[in-house]
Structure 1
Amino acid sequence: MASHRKPKERTLTGSTARTAATLAIAGAASVTMFGETGHAEPRLTASEAKARVDRLYQEAEEATERYNGAKEKAGTVQHRIDDLQDELARRTERLNRTRDGLGSIATAQYRSGGVDPAMQLALASSPDQYLERAGLLDRMSSRQNAALHALGSQRREIEQLRTEAGTELGELRRSRAELARHKRTVQERLAAAQRLLDGLTAGQRAAVLADGGQGATRSGYRAGRAVAAGSRSALAPAVAPNARAARAVSFAYDSLGLPYVWGATGPSSYDCSGFTQAAWRSAGVELPRTTYTQINAGNRISRSELEPGDLVFFYSGISHVGLYIGNGMMIHAPRTGDVVKIAPVDQMPFAGATRPA
């Protein structure tokens, strides 16, 4: 008669136990990360991917303008430090001359034998000698007192300059740290956008970049220049209100097709505010470096008052700027991977306009 005893349970030991534990942990992690089914996140549609990519590029441009501002600030502080150091060198040289003057007075006193001035007068052999010595000692005393007074004043001035230089150096360190932080943000946003694009199919990527212009490759750059030239010939030019505005608009047209590079101010590549700054500089007008300072550099105007040469700004954070050319169009440097191009003003959320003066 066969035995119907319950089989003895086996205990997992050694490598078998470790393997089972590893599988259990991996299974639990897959549930935690991907849900109970363990499937990856569904593939994005082209419109969803475009929305995400556009947002990442906008965040990168916002960080770019903050980077530009921090870079300008660091440059200004460095200039002040250079001026302070030059002034400190001049004051130190003056201090050394004062010390040399005091040394000359001390030498003269030493040569007189170190005799007390009152005793020197008492030992005078004649009234004329007495008066001569009295006048000399009086002049030496006056010079010494003046030199000592100047020496103390110059030392205080130098200490003040050193304090100011130390303060400016601290500000420079903070500005450079801010600069590095914004640079990292730009790079992170651009890298995230590129990863998202790399994960799309060729068709999706083409749809996402349909409004993004040509890529930053050499062939894309040439194609962008050709497209830009075609856009220029197809667009009826509007008359600029004055010679300076006409010069800025002409510069903008001549820049069509140049690649966008964040932080660039030309002449072979630009970011948005670097482009508008260069356009108006060609007309003899110096604009500030960033979008959020350029909007205050001139006379604020309404959208209905726009004329060629005016600056048009976009988004609530004033993070993008273009140069108006008339007929509801502008020339701007859009974003990484794109080129300077003609685009409708209503392509982005309008935030304001300025007419440089």
Structure 2
Amino acid sequence: MLNGRKRIMARPFGAAVSGLALAAVVGVVPSSPAQAEPDIDDVKSRVDTLYHQAEQASERYNDAKLELKDLRHDMGSLKADQRRQDDRLGAVQEQVKDSIVRQYEGESLSAVGQVVVSDDPKSFLAQLSTMSAFDDLQGQLFADYSTELKALDIRREATEKRAAEVAATKKKLADEKATIDDKLAEAKSLLGKLEAEQREALTSRSAAPRTPPVAASGNAAAAVQFAMAQVGDAYVYGAAGPDAWDCSGLTMMAWAQAGVALPHSSSAQYNSGPHVAESELMPGDLVFYYSPISHVGMYIGNGMIVNAENPSAGVKVTSLHAMPYVGAVRPG
């Protein structure tokens, strides 16, 4: 478990930046010296849009990782079930073979030799059903074998289907990662068009207000203390500490300090506890933004939240309504 000590980490501006921006730069940065410098508010709006698009992709990436974990767990269970069924089928097959040998004991086994030595389950069943002495075999054994073979086929099909879903989810992960990288690269390119003085002005607007939080109680106190100790750390898409975070990674690890397990996904965290009205917010509550949900922070009181905001701002304290507010959840 991580402790709550504060770590301030230098964040090269744009090191984690991405986005839709080269095309936007053409419309923002004039090609003629006679035209005005790019408006810093326009640039900030564009970069914020890119950050949000990258964060949406990042949260979809987190969701896909959770889905892949579940699929792999299911596939492991299916394979184990298939192995057990294979063993049951083998046991019944041995019983049928023993029955045939006993029936033909003392006689030439050439007529049934292929059945007795057959390793392929379906071939075994086909040969068994065409034997001239089939009617004399124990009917229940034949029925048992046929039933177990069908059950094994069902399990094999389920395993193959789950394996295909795993492959598709891996592809989804790769696509979302590519989207994140593209958005960050565009935002970095856009910011690179600004003069150093303008970039400094842009980053200074993201400075975190140091409003003392309201005292939290119970499990929430440990979560709030941990989250506040990370103020100043870097924002990195998909990160969950110890020195860099994305939005759901920070809230997940903060509540882990209180012994509460949360998924690494803002949309999944929105369904992880009882919802609370804005008028009833308490320090430690998780607050969610955008539709569909793609950002989460932690309420600290006085109308303020602590959150891993974006690559420019990092982990900071900001207003509850600095982003489009959707709702809140109380973990624990």
- Residue 45 of structure 1 contacts residue 204 of structure 1 at CA under 8 Å; is this kept in 2? no
Structure 1 residues not aligned, in runs of 5+: 1-32, 116-140, 214-226
What is aligned with 1:313? 288
**Match of residue 238, structure 1, among 214, 219, 227:** 214
What is aligned with 1:69? 63
Query: What secondary structure is seen at the aligned counterpart in 2 of 1:293?
Result: helix
Alignment of 1:1-357 (within 5 A): 39=32, 43-113=37-107, 144-212=138-206, 231=210, 235-241=211-217, 243-357=218-332
Query: What secondary structure is seen at the aligned counterpart in 2 of 1:342?
Result: strand
Query: What secondary structure is seen at the aligned counterpart in 1 of 2:215?
Result: coil
Aligned-partner Cα distance in 2 for 1:143–1:87 = 29
What amino acid does structure 2 have at the position aligned with 1:247? A
Residues 327 and 98 of structure 1: is their aligned pair in 2 closer, same or farther, counting only changes over 3 Å?
same
Structure having the higher Rg: 1
Deviations 1:161-214 (A, max 9, x none): 11112222232232222222221111111110000111110011111212445x
- Residue 245 of structure 2 contacts residue 308 of structure 2 at CA under 8 Å; is this kept in 1? yes
**Structure 1 stretch 58-67 or stretch 96-105: which is displaced more?**
96-105
TM-score (norm 1): 0.70
Aligned-partner Cα distance in 2 for 1:142–1:110 = 11
- Residue 284 of structure 2 contacts residue 330 of structure 2 at CA under 8 Å; is this kept in 1? yes
Aligned-partner Cα distance in 2 for 1:247–1:143 = 71
Deviations 1:75-134 (A, max 9, x none): 21122112111211121122122222222333333434369xxxxxxxxxxxxxxxxxxx
Residues 149 and 281 of structure 1: is their aligned pair in 2 closer, same or farther, counting only changes over 3 Å?
farther
What amino acid does structure 1 have at the position aligned with 2:145? L
Structure with greater helix percent? 1
Shift of 1:310: 0.3
Deviations 1:222-256 (A, max 9, x none): xxxxx99xx4xxx5442324x22222222223433
Shift of 1:42: 5.8
TM-score (norm 2): 0.75
Structure with the greater relative contact order (CA < 8 A, sep ≥ 6): 1 or 2?
2
What amino acid does structure 2 have at the position aligned with 1:47? D
Give the RMSD, CA atoms, in angstroms.
Answer: 2.9
What amino acid does structure 2 have at the position aligned with 1:186? I
Shift of 1:268: 4.0
Q: Number of paired residues?
A: 279
Shift of 1:336: 2.2
- Residue 60 of structure 2 contacts residue 176 of structure 2 at CA under 8 Å; is this kept in 1? yes
Aligned-partner Cα distance in 1 for 2:152–2:226 = 48
Shift of 1:285: 2.3
Q: Identity across aligned pairs (percent)?
A: 36
What amino acid does structure 2 have at the position aligned with 1:176? K
Aligned-partner Cα distance in 1 for 2:141–2:257 = 53
Residues 198 and 100 of structure 1: is their aligned pair in 2 closer, same or farther, counting only changes over 3 Å?
same
What amino acid does structure 1 have at the position aligned with 2:169? S
Aligned-partner Cα distance in 2 for 1:89–1:337 = 52
